[in-house]
Amino acid sequence: MSCDTPSGMISVQQCRERLLAAVAPLTATETLTLEQATDRILADSLAARLDLPLEDNSAMDGYALHAEDLDGRNAPEIVATVLAGQSFGERLEAGQCVRIMTGAPVPAGAEAVVMQERTRVDGNRLHLGEAVPAGNNIRRRGEDIRTGAPLLPAGRRLGPAEIGLLASQGIASVTVVRRLKVALVSTGDELVAPGSSPGPGQIHDSNRYMLRAALERLGVEVIDPGVIRDDRAELEHTLERLDRQADAIITSGGVSVGEADHVRAVLESLGEIHLWKVAIKPGKPFAFGRLPGSMLFGLPGNPVSALVTLYQLALPALVRMQGGQWKAPPTLRARLADPLRKKPGRADYQRGVLEYDDKGEPVVHSTGGQGSAILTSLTGANCFIVLPAEQGDLQAGEFVTVEPFAPPL
């Protein structure tokens, strides 16, 4: 993304870098069972404590053959059957073979496994159609990972594959970074909770529920004090309390220059607050601050702006605070199915649906109206259409950069 932005604005990239530089990873840890550890952040690097596979074993259902019987000229005698979970226990001699199932340990002395389908059994004799290469269908001890080799790095989020790898190493519990505590603050006299009917001029509070869903997907512990009125004393009181409880506070709304926007004034009285104009659409005003006990992320009030700035701006810093490492999601080039309106000035993260046409080429459709309060531009979308700051209107058929949604979207 280009860093050239109109004066007074910072680029998305610059904003992310400033936030990353300002936050520090949590250091407190806790030890959890594997069942509790999904999506948690590994606190320390781990080394393999076992070879994987644990022993040479068969990759196929078939017959384990002695080195002298691989050429297929002899018809070795079938002396045993070894199922997964069993062991032959003796050394295989020339002229002997064993029927063996996938995952069963290959007996000492065996040099290859031949697939059942490539053989013919006549009484207790095994006939091979052709010679079998040495080593065939044997999964060697330690071919996946050797004892002492790096297993997982500190900071790795434990997804299904990581949990599986830990289990395969016999590891039953794991030390992870303690959960990040994030307080979510919705401000505004116009907000009522879903479930109650809005009076004249009122709207349902959508941001608190939406941002909570995103944070829960990140494995964050959410502290939710409910909607806070546009009342300076109430705000001050609540923010002071949350600052003592949480590692981060995320507010939405109340940071522009509107009459009732007390958030900014209260925050300025509590700590060191920066209000940045980020060259991002949706979502220009973005506040960031350091309070005595927590970091403050002030998102815009409009719901699309709030979710997009959480994802595009605050996420790298939140992941760093969690003890993890944020990586920029991969992008691709796709053909536009629809024309797009775009004013030069700010990088635009329009919402789209990425598909593949009948030739297998990527094509992206707009989700329609892209206003910063139009939440249906996000529902059903599976990607951002990322338009650089200087870009103007686009025609259907032009190529654009597409960034598929990644968690927590």
Among 205, 243, 247, 403, binds ligand AMP (CB under 6 A): 205
190 binds, among ligand AMP, Mg ion, none (CB under 5 to 8 A by kind): ligand AMP
Q: Least CB distance from residue 146 to Mg ion, whole Å?
A: 58
Binding residues among 231-260 for Mg ion as defined by CB under 5 A: 253-254
Please identify, using beta-carbon distances, which residue of 280 and 340 lies nearer to ligand AMP: 280
* Stretch of 198-206, 312-320, 342-350, 387-395 lying at the interface with ligand AMP (CB under 6 A): 198-206
Please identify, using beta-carbon distances, which residue of 162 and 261 lies nearer to ligand AMP: 261
| β-bridge mates for residue 404, sequence order | 383
Please identify, using beta-carbon distances, which residue of 208 and 320 lies nearer to ligand AMP: 208
| Ordered strands of the 77-82 beta sheet | 110-115, 62-66, 96-100, 77-82, 125-128, 119-122
Q: Helix axis angle, 263-270 relative to 232-245, nearest 10°?
A: 50
Q: Which amino acid, residue 126? A: L
Measured over the CA atoms of residue 112, residue 117, residue 119 and residue 120, the dihedral's sign is positive
3-state secondary structure of 177: strand
Please identify, using beta-carbon distances, which residue of 103 and 225 lies nearer to Mg ion: 225
In angstroms, the CA 267 to CA 288 distance is 10
Q: Least CB distance from residue 372 to ligand AMP, whole Å?
A: 8
Instruction: Using the structure block, give the residue that is written with the tokens 């775009």.
Output: 342
Q: Is 155 in the site for Mg ion (CB under 5 A)?
A: no
52-79 burial, b for 16+ CB within 10 Å, e for fewer? bbeebbbebbbbbbbeebbebebbbebb
Q: Is 190 in the site for ligand AMP (CB under 6 A)?
A: yes
Give the pair of three-digit tokens for residue 390.
């200087």
* Stretch of 20-28, 54-62, 203-211, 231-239 lying at the interface with ligand AMP (CB under 6 A): 203-211
Q: Is 300 in the site for Mg ion (CB under 5 A)?
A: no
* Stretch of 52-60, 172-180, 249-257, 286-294 lying at the interface with ligand AMP (CB under 6 A): 249-257
| β-bridge mates for residue 186, sequence order | 227, 252
In angstroms, the CA 213 to CA 209 distance is 6
Q: Is 188 in the site for Mg ion (CB under 5 A)?
A: yes
In whole angstroms, what separates CA 149 from the centre of its chain? Answer: 25
* Stretch of 36-44, 193-201, 298-306, 348-356 lying at the interface with ligand AMP (CB under 6 A): 298-306
Instruction: Using the structure block, give the residue that is written with the tokens 């994030």.
Output: 182
| β-bridge mates for residue 127, sequence order | 120
Gap between the terminal Cα atoms of the chain: 21
Q: Least CB distance from residue 250 to ligand AMP, whole Å?
A: 11
Instruction: Using the structure block, give the residue that is written with the tokens 């409009």.
Output: 302
224 binds, among ligand AMP, Mg ion, none (CB under 5 to 8 A by kind): none
Q: Least CB distance from residue 189 to Mg ion, whole Å?
A: 8
Binding residues among 149-188 for ligand AMP as defined by CB under 6 A: 186, 188
Q: Is 323 in the site for Mg ion (CB under 5 A)?
A: no
**What contacts 92, CB < 8 A, 6 or more positions away?**
64, 66, 98, 107, 108, 109, 110
Please identify, using beta-carbon distances, which residue of 236 and 355 lies nearer to Mg ion: 236
Q: Least CB distance from residue 220 to Mg ion, whole Å?
A: 24
Tell me: cis bond preceding 53? Omega within 30 of 0 counts: yes
Return the H-helix or E-strand segment holding 12: helix 12-22
Please identify, using beta-carbon distances, which residue of 78 and 374 lies nearer to ligand AMP: 374
Binding residues for Mg ion, rule: CB under 5 A, are 188, 253-254
Binding residues for ligand AMP, rule: CB under 6 A, are 186, 188, 190-191, 203, 205-208, 252-254, 256, 258, 300-303
